[in-house]
Amino acid sequence: MRILVTGGAGFIGSHLIDRLMAANHEVICLDNFYTGHKRNILRWMGNPYFELVRHDITEPIRLEVDQIYHLACPASPVHYQYNPVKTVKTNVLGTLNMLGLAKRVKARFFLASTSEVYGDPEVHPQPEEYRGSVNPSAFAVVTTKASGWLRHWRLTTIVKTMLKFVWCEFLTPMAQNVGKRWSRGE
């Protein structure tokens, strides 16, 4: 299977690529390196089943893939607050571009989001059904909008979609370094 991972040079994306490569898939890593690191994916460079494309998803791209794992977005408050316009564009235009690609090639689509969209939670950990207290931050608003589009596309197109939230609890061991650019071995 030919699989696209946006944000593939990031901490979570690079680990996903490891799993996909171990399962003998062809993988395209799409990243602009705004927060990701090339060193996270160096082990796959030169592998005939791996391709690295330096690209900003706010611009459309034409690829042929079977699945898309859309992980591209600055996730740390330090990064998304440093350039909020870029964050909005990545969430809005990037998600629309990737959904458009999925529709064109009839690929399955997975959107990873963040619990940030729920605001300050009253429940820990938050189940998928939790609607929380909505955070009015620009990051939360556009991330919520991206997941809303995903639900709309699932209902109105032939694109098979999936949405999952990357919970802050997953990153608990890293909490003391919020905002740090993560790479392997750190």
Note the pTM of the prediction, 2 decimals. Answer: 0.71
Helix, strand, or coil here: 4?
Answer: strand
What is the edge-to-edge ordering of all strands in the sheet holding 67-70? 50-54, 26-31, 2-6, 67-70, 108-114, 161-166
Q: Alpha-carbon distance 175 to 168, whole Å?
A: 9
Tens of pLDDT along the chain (186 residues) come to 999 999 999 989 999 999 999 999 999 999 999 889 999 999 999 999 999 999 999 999 999 999 999 998 776 666 666 777 777 788 888 988 998 999 899 999 888 866 565 566 677 776 767 666 655 555 555 566 666 656 655 555 545 555 444 433 333 334 344 444 444 444
